[in-house]
Structure formats: C-alpha cells, structure tokens
Amino acid sequence: MMIKEQYSILQTLADLGISESNSGGSTGTNWLSTSGDIFNILSPVDGELIGSVASISEKEYNQVIKQAQKSFKEWRMIPAPRRGEVVRQIADALRAKKEDLGKLVSYEMGKSYQEGLGEVQEMIDVADFAVGLSRQLYGLTMHSERPQHRMYEQWHPLGIVGIISAFNFPVAVWSWNAFLAWVCGDVCIWKPSEKTPLSAIACQRIAAEVFKRNHLPEGISNVIVGDYKIGQLISNDQRIALVSATGSTRMGKAVGEAVGKRLGRALLELGGNNAIIISEHADLKMTIVGAVFGAVGTAGQRCTSTRRLIIHESIFDQVKDKLVNAYGQLKVGNPLDEHNHVGPLIDKQAVENYKDALVKIVAEGGKAVIEGETLSGDGYESGCYVKPAIYEVKNAYEIVCHETFAPILYLIKYKTIEEAIEMQNAVPQGLSSAIMTNNVRESELFLSQVGSDCGIANVNIGTSGAEIGGAFGGEKETGGGRESGSDAWKAYMRRQTNTINYGSELPLAQGIKFDL
C-alpha cells in the first residue's frame, strides 16, 4: 500500500485498528471475509490506494443474519437504560478517536477535515441523545369505555435493522440509525457505500470493542461490505424487519419496492434539490455565508446542499455580484489542509456527471456567472477536483429539476413571495429549504401550510447543517422517512395496544351483547 507520507494515513489506520493486513474484509463483530470480490479503495484526495476490502459472500451474509437473530434474543431482554449505558460508552470511545476517525473520513471521502471532525461529533451527539432516549421510550395510557378495564400502549423492539448508507456521510448516518435502534433493543446490519468502507470498518471496530468489554454477544453490531447486490439481499430478506436506506431516489425506489413486496418496513432518506429564497428584506451578509457553504460544502455532495437560489428581482444583481466575490476567495484542494474550502468529488464518475450537467445547463439556455471546469495540475492528480460553478437559469429547466451531486449553483429571479414559494416547491424532491428574510409575514407564509413542502424548512439559516435533535428527512421523492431526533425512535419499534380486564365480567366493546 503506497500512501503519501504527508497524510500519515498508515498511522491513522493503525490507530483505528485497521492495518494493511486486515483492512480487507466485511466484518461482523469479530470476523472478516476473504472470499468475495475485492474493492480497491482509492482516495479522491490524491488517487492513492488506501486499502482493499473483500465483499461478503451470500453464505457469509446468512451467517451474519443468523448470528444477529441469536444476539437479538439476548439484547432485547437487557433493560433499555442499560442498553443506553453501552451506547454512552461507545460515545466515549468515539471521543477518544475523534481526530483519527475525522481524518480517515476526510481522506477516504474527500470532505474537509473540519467536516470530517464534524461528522464524528455528530455521532457523539446522536449517542448522547440516544442515552437520554433510553429512559424515555414512553407509551400511552387511556380510559376504556368498559368498566374495570385498563388500556395502554407500549413499544417493543423490531428485531434486525438493515442500514444502507451513502458515501457522502460515511459514518454519521449509521449512527442516526444504529444508536437509536440499539437503545430500542434492535440489532443492526450495516452496508456502507463500497466507496467508503474503511470508515465504516473503523466505527465497527470501535463499537465491537465496547460490546465485547460489556460481555455482550457478537452480532448486535455488524458491517457487511458489498455492492448493490448485497443491498438487494438486505431489501428482500424477510428476516430484516426494517431497512433504512440513504442514497439516490433511484436506489430508494428499488429498496422501497422490494421491501414493500414483502410487507416489511422501509425508512428512506433520498435525494434533495434544495433552494434558498432570498427576499429583498434579507440580511445579505448572513445570506451569502449560508448560500456559499450550502453550495460548496462537501463539494456539493450533501443531500441538503444548496442547489438553487431564488432571488428577488430587485436585489438579483447585487446578490450575484456578492456571490462572484465570495467564490473568488474559495480555495479548492487537499481537504486535509484547513486553508482549503472545497475538496474533491468522490470519484471520476462524479466528475463526468458534473461535466454532463454543465453541457445540459448551457444547452437549455443557462448563462454562466462562474463557468464550471475540471481542475488539473499540482495537487489535483486524482482527477476528482472541479471548480464550483454558478449559472443563471429558469426553474423549469429539466436539469434544474434533477439533483446533480456537485458544486453547481443555480440563480433564479422571482417577483412575489408567492411565486418564489411556488418555484421552491416545483421540483420532485422535498428535503430541505430556507428563506432569508427579516419580514415576519414572509417567514410565516413560508412555514405555513401553503409554504415550503419540504421536510426541513428554515428561516435565516441555510439548507445544510441540520441539528440532531430534530427529525431529519423529507417528502416527495426524498422518501418520507425521518431519522435521528424527535420521535424518530418509533420507526425502530413496534407499537402494541394492551387492554386488561380486572373485573369479574366480560363486557364487549361498542355495547355488543353476546349472551350464552
């Protein structure tokens, strides 16, 4: 394995429990596969080989499932606060490895080191949330219409939760699902993106050590590496009670169809095509910061990335000029260098998608404000770096209605707030949205039942960077799922209504008479 010494990635991998000799494999709690196809993991930062990982075989997959079924029977019997204590220990272990894991996330995926650290911190925050949740899995009590009867609802764990995550958040989305599922009493099988499996294996090793230290069975936490065929196994597997899938709308439709056919449960968090409405009443200094980070953070590869700015016609040119000035200060390069703002796209296919989108924008009549291009030369040897671009477009352009996972920002004019909201909603996706305004009427209209149709609607902050306390997810082609905060825990449990008759007679509901 040849790694540029400046990154010290070999030491980072060793500190995370991954070495050149054991980085290959699909890992359950304590074992690795050596029989499947090999994925060579190349860093988009410099194109270097980080490690090689073997895909799990179907035989090994079934071994993982059987072990998970066995472990569930024991794990569900442990009191929820005790399960929360285990998650608390995992949070502490993540704190101890935050810098190393953040560095690996940055190098393997290409996001900035600060964003890599932020992703690990998000896991820690979710763990803290889950610990508190472990003492708050509340049901309801209600009055019965029958005398000497009591009714209540309680929640029970589902069983095995399958987690399919995307490359852009190699570790955080797993924690949204796994930490909540664990305190609910479920066990988890995680298929990370085959583009970023090393970060997943590192997280698995950290969690596995905690489970082992607490004398808990193997199979509560599992990682299985593979391509879409492994995702198909998970989606079609009757033994998996819930499939939580994060990724493209195309992938989500396939997962939803497969899970639906077997009447299983699916939690889908899919594509976004997020807009910020910029009112003539906006604070432009704050607006530019939010818009630029939303558009270029993670090189435009977040599901919450800002794709569209819908700008009032009276300030359109002013906003455009400020954006050009801000983009002129952006530095594109190695994301482990904290002086750089924008790292690479995940791979060369993503670069091709970026280039195809630029051609389509111009073909439909888009006007370049900052023209997009691929970058080459010193520091760009991986072939994955591109220039953040801005184009004036119309909201109805076909390319604008699609999600391009790249730093391409569209500028669109509007006349009235009602027109702006209509434009915001006139795309198939419905994840995140925002309005920048100091006008109370506009902000309230945006948040009302005739306002944004997205799962996330913000005022005076951007579309990107959701906090873990609120349920995360969206509507329409975003899939309708909710993860992380609020009452999202209910997705990982089954509800049961209980009625107890403590009297000596058996009255029937609705006053029905049935005398013998």
298: amino acid identity, one letter: T
Burial 335-365 (b: 16+ CB within 10 A, else e): bbeeebbbbbbbbbebbeebeebbebbeeee
Distance, in Å, from the CA atom of 86 to the CA atom of 209, rounded to the nearest integer, reads 11
Q: Which two tokens stand for residue 498?
A: 């209980």
DSSP string, 209-252: HHHHHTTPPTTSEEE----HHHHHHHHH-TTEEEEEEES-HHHH
Identity (one letter) of the amino acid at 493?
M
**In Å, how far are 83, 205, 440 from 213, measured between CA atoms?**
13, 12, 54
Question: Which residues contact residue 263 at a Cβ distance below 8 angstroms, ignoring those fewer than 6 apart?
Answer: none
**Among candidate residues 166, 116, 416, the one with its CA nearest the CA of residue 268:** 166
Instruction: List active site positions.
Output: 269, 303
Q: Three-state DSSP class for 39?
A: strand
Half-sphere exposure (Cβ direction) of 249: Cα atoms closer than 13 Å: 19
Give whole-number Cα distances, 434 to 289, 306, 343, 447, 466, in Å: 13, 9, 25, 10, 12
Q: What gap in Å lies between CA 278 and CA 298, rounded to an integer? A: 22
**57, 28 contact by CB (below 8 A):** no
Report whether 414 contacts 440 (CB < 8 A). Answer: no
Burial bucket for residue 173 (CB in 10 Å: 0-12, 13-18, 19+): buried
Q: Which residue has the tokens 């995680």?
A: 190
| 193, 170 contact by CB (below 8 A) | yes
Are 161 and 188 in contact by the 8 Å Cβ rule? The answer is yes
